[in-house]
Amino acid sequence: MLLHGHWKATANYGATLDFTRIDFDDSGWSDAPVPGHWQEQPEFADYPEKMLFRKTFEHAGTAPGARSFLRFEGVFYACKVWLNGAYLGEHEGFFEPFEYDVTGIVREGRNVAAVFVRCERERDLNSKTQVLGVFGNWDCIPPHMQPGGIWGEVSLEERPPVFLHSPAVDDFQVDPDEAVFRARVRLDGLGGGAQGLRLEWTLSPFNFQGQVLEGEFLLDAVQAADPEASFEIAVPEPRLWWTWDRGEPNLYTLAVRLCGGAAEHEISLRFGIRTVEFKDWILHLNGERLFCRGSNYAPCDARLARADRDLCARDIRLARDANLNMLRAHAHVEPQAFYDLCDEAGILVWQDFPLQWSYAQSVEQSAVKQIRAMARLLAHHPCVAVWCCHNEPFTVMEAYTLQDLIAKNKWKDLFRLGRSMWFRNWNKNVLDLRLREAVREQDADRPVIAHSGIPGLLREGTDAHLYFGWYMGTMRGLDMMARANRRALRFVTEYGAQALPIPEHFRRMCDADKVSDLDWDMLEKRHMLQTNLMHKFSPPRADASVEDYAGLTQWYQARVIRYTNELLRRMKYNPCGGAVHFLFNDCAPVVSWAVVDYWRGLKQGYYALRDSFRPLLPMANMPKRWYPQGDMVSLRLFVINDLRQAFPGVTLRAAFVNQDGEIKQEEEQGVDIPADGALACGRAKWDTADAPPGAYGLILEIHGPGIEHPVVSQYEFELR
């Protein structure tokens, strides 16, 4: 029985618990939708941080011999729950479903569920107290948007006296002939012991044709004090789960039935058979190296109640079409539909725990409990490849860049930032290590990274966040860093630049025709535009149209994405194991690093991401924007192949052309492209002495045996 629809809600709460009584008069309260977020109601738009909710419903009462449970799929952020005046308990954490046994409390006829919900604004951004991740504060969600609400479904469920719950699979031992793993399931209601009960299980293919396996065993040895049954399943000739670019994302369904006497209950779990590990920051899937081509995924919507399966499915299709084999769930946990869809699409997930920047020490106990819950909730998904405990566990500054800190004479802030990044702090060296230990205890089958974005300068770092072309100077500084400290680029999980949404969507934020009419202050405060940096890298002309300026910002963003992707891919496995761009999607109406705006408009950066992440790709080191007429243009050539298949005896063609497509210089060479490798192919050179000033391009093409359609890349530059 779903308890969705209109609930009664108020921000006027007192010290008494009168509101929990069935006969309490809530006629003066507002109507609020559940699932939902209370700030969306006009009367709560200024965001009270604590709310009371009531739901009156009719019920037939618990059936004889059955048990009833009141279940919540998700609440932002902490709550206390009553039913018919009886206190059921409290819960903290936005992503974990929770439930209460209400057998004997729910009654025939009129019932009332009452909930107190708390979700506070984080005022001290370097000492946060709630595990909200990006929902607590982030430069891609406006600070006036707060998440509080009963965002998931609420239901009243009936179950038998003894029932199964919390199915899990782990401890995979995989070889080509056989895969062996452990299945576990917990039982509730074993007050009288498990004598006479048995489990029957069936393992069947979910998305392919194959053998169905079955088994059963008695539960006599299961004790009421630790009501968990575990059993081993051996799968002959297993069909492994692969990313879409390496094979098929094969999935199995494990159905477990409780039988014996009056007990009868069944649950199921969908999963995949695969192994995953990091070796020196190179991901190995089923024992094979895999270069990760990824992007950071923001919440499907900042209002999680809106994040339905259809919207998630649209995003996953866009990610697959952009040639991504990894998404990073950036400092948040998505609804289950997201992970189901990634399982089916063959897209890996780097799963962040919802911690971002700095927290108060009081958060430790709750964070440990919640990270264990995250691992339990998601561990059966084969798409989840990596756990990361904390994103950027260092001090938040008001200024965006090092130059800003120096210009504003913020030397104290600069010292605090450097100290928190490169030296010991409680978040990084105490909290994160405790979280890493907790998640390893829960799941030993995946790599666990204590924190993301710690530079490897004074000591061994982690994955890198390298905003060349935005925070860290020009994009070509990345090449200088690669020469100076190559290991710093061994796995890069953030890079990019802001760009305006497509013009028709940008007008929903700011209705202006000319750049001179734009309200820059409003765009910065309400839509997260970083004005100074935008103007630095995409200088606006006052007489330009908004459409033209949006195009300029998107052109620049696309250029940064392509430059970074191609440079990192040329370093494939030497030492770079992955390039995970920031950011794939907007979750709110903002100006951000995303290549897919909030209304799912595709920026130019999306196409740059797609094209530069093609699994088989000819490339050159990116030309300068212009060369003096008469210079020799000389560009290094490469072919990158992320596929298992080698391509021997193919042709690489390099042609310099003018803006009319006329060939000015052309060369061809035969190349043998190795499987899953990066191949240097010399240089393309053109003496421009006889060429007039103007627009030119370099076209690269590979064709030949095994390549169904020629693969083409094109670069543009000018002679002046």
- Buried-exposed string 234-273: b where 16+ CB fall within 10 A, e elsewhere: ebeebbbbbbbbbbebbbbebebbbeeeebebeeebbbbb
What tokens were used for 135?
A: 């929902």
Q: Write out the two tokens for 458.
A: 């004074």
- 629's tokens: 């007429």
pLDDT at 191: 79
The DSSP bridge partners found for residue 57 are 111
Does CATH number 3.30.2010.10 belong to domain 289-509+552-616? no
- Percent of the chain exceeding pLDDT 90 equals 88
Helix 546-570 vs helix 477-484: angle between axes, to the nearest 10 degrees? 20
Name the band, by pLDDT with cuts 50, 70 and 90, for residue 194. Answer: confident
User: Residue 523 CB: number of other CB atoms within 10 A?
Assistant: 21
DSSP state of 629: T
Place of tokens 């130059």: 403
CA distance 473 to 130: 34
- DSSP secondary structure of 85-103: TEEEEEEE-SS--EEEE-T
356: amino acid identity, one letter: Q
- pLDDT the model gives residue 80: 98
pLDDT at residue 459 greater than cutoff 90: no
Please tell me the predicted confidence (pLDDT) of residue 404.
Answer: 66
In the chain, what are the domain boundaries? 5-159, 163-271, 289-509+552-616, 619-719
Give the Cα separation of 357 and 393 in Å (integer).
Answer: 4
**What pLDDT shows up at residue 222?**
80
Residue 607 corresponds to which tokens in the numbers above?
């196409």
Each residue of 519-554: pLDDT tens digit?
999 999 999 999 999 999 999 998 999 999 999 999
* Nearest by Cα to 139 from 558, 588, 603: 588
What are the start-end ranges of the H helices in 213-363? 309-321, 336-345
Structure tokens at 174: 């995989």
pLDDT of 399 over the 90 cut: no
pLDDT in tens, 230-279: 999 999 999 999 999 999 999 999 999 999 877 799 999 999 999 999 99
Q: The tokens of 672 are what?
A: 């043998």
pLDDT at 411 over 80: no
Taking the C-alpha atoms of residue 376 and residue 133, their distance in angstroms, rounded to an integer, is 19
pLDDT in the model for residue 419: 74
Phi and psi, residue 538, nearest 5°:
-130, 75
> What whole-number distance in Å separates Cα of residue 392 and Cα of residue 465?
9
pLDDT of residue 226: 79
Question: What are 544's two structure tokens?
Answer: 């330009």
Consecutive H or E run containing 531: helix 531-537
| CATH H superfamily, domain 619-719 | Immunoglobulins (2.60.40.10)
- Cα distances from 68 to residues 75, 101, 192, 236, 381, in angstroms, run 20, 6, 19, 40, 29
Is residue 420 very low, low, confident or very high in pLDDT (cuts 50, 70, 90)? Answer: confident
Phi-psi region at 237: left, alpha or beta (left = phi > 0; alpha = psi -120 to 50)? left
458 pLDDT tier (thresholds 50, 70, 90)? low
Global pTM reads 0.96
- Contact indicator for 8, 24 with CB cutoff of 8 Å: no
Residue 302 tokens read as 């900042």
- Residue 295 pLDDT > 90: yes
Percent of the chain whose pLDDT exceeds 70: 97
Give me the residues paired with residue 159 across strands: 67
CA dihedral 170, 173, 176, 178 (to 10 degrees): -80
The alpha-carbon radius of gyration of the chain (Å, integer) is 28
User: Strand locations in 358-406, DSSP E?
Assistant: 384-388
How confident is the model at residue 410, as a pLDDT?
67
CB 451 within 8 A of CB 462: yes
CATH number among 2.60.120.460, 2.60.40.10, 1.20.1740.10, 2.40.40.20, domain 163-271: 2.60.40.10
Three-class secondary structure assignment of 495-513: CCCCECCCHHHHCCCCCCC
CA angle 566, 587, 322 (to 5 degrees): 30
**Tens digit of each residue's pLDDT (9 = 90 or more) over 335-391:** 999 999 999 999 999 999 999 999 999 999 999 999 999 999 999 999 999 999 999
Per-residue pLDDT tens digits for 684-704: 999 999 999 999 999 999 999
Both structure tokens of 610: 């797609």
Q: In which element (H, E) is residue 713 found? A: strand 707-719
**317-330 burial: b if 16+ Cβ within 10 Å, else e:** ebbbebbbbbbbbb
Q: Which amino acid is at 435?
A: L
Widest CA span of the chain, in angstroms? 94
Identify the pLDDT of residue 403.
59
Query: How do beta strands 663-673 and 694-704 pair?
Result: unpaired
What are the φ/ψ torsions at residue 669 (nearest 5 degrees)? -145, 145
The amino acid at residue 18 is D
Q: Quote the pLDDT of residue 414.
A: 67
**Domains 163-271 and 619-719 belong to one CATH topology:** yes
Number of neighbouring beta carbons within 10 Å of residue 561:
33
CB-based contact 571:482 (threshold 8 Å): yes
Backbone angles phi, psi at 441, to 5 degrees: -65, -30
Q: If you average pLDDT over every residue of the chain, what do you get? A: 94
**Residue 457 pLDDT:** 62
Place of tokens 């369904």: 253
Q: What is the DSSP letter of 195?
A: T
| Confidence (pLDDT) at 560 | 98
Residue 587, both tokens: 């979750």
**Residues 161/67, Cβ–Cβ less than 8 Å:** yes
DSSP string, 400-444: SSHHHHHHTT-HHHHHHHHHHHHS--HIIIIIHHHHHHHHHHH-S
* CATH code assigned to 5-159: 2.60.120.260
Strand partners, 224: none
Q: How far apart are CA 35 and CA 94, in angstroms?
A: 13
Q: Is the pLDDT confidence value at 455 over 90?
A: no
β-sheet with 213-218: strand ranges across? 213-218, 198-205, 252-259, 265-271
The pLDDT value given to residue 408 = 64
pLDDT in tens, 82-113: 999 999 999 999 999 999 999 999 999 999 99
Give residue 110's identity as a one-letter amino acid code: R
At residue 107, φ and ψ (nearest 5 deg) are: -130, 165
What CA–CA distance (Å, rounded) separates 626 from 624? Answer: 5
Residue 291 pLDDT:
98
Task: Please provide residue 532's backbone torsions phi and psi, each rounded to the nearest 5 degrees.
Answer: -60, -45
3-state secondary structure of 675: coil
**No. of H helices and E strands in the chain?**
13, 35
Where residue 14 falls among pLDDT bands split at 50, 70, 90?
confident
Tell me the three-class secondary structure of 323-373, residue by residue.
CCCEEEECCCCCCHHHHHHHHHHCCEEEEECCCECCECHHHHHHHHHHHHH
The pair of structure tokens assigned to 167 is 């199915």
According to DSSP, the residues that pair with 141 across neighbouring strands are 138
Residue 502 in contact with residue 550, Cβ under 8 Å? yes
CB count within 10 Å of CB 644 equals: 13
Q: Per residue in 655-676, pLDDT tens?
A: 999 999 999 999 999 999 999 9
Order across the sheet with 288-290: list the strands: 276-279, 282-285, 288-290
Instruction: Tell me if 51 sits within 8 A of 38, measured CB to CB.
Output: yes
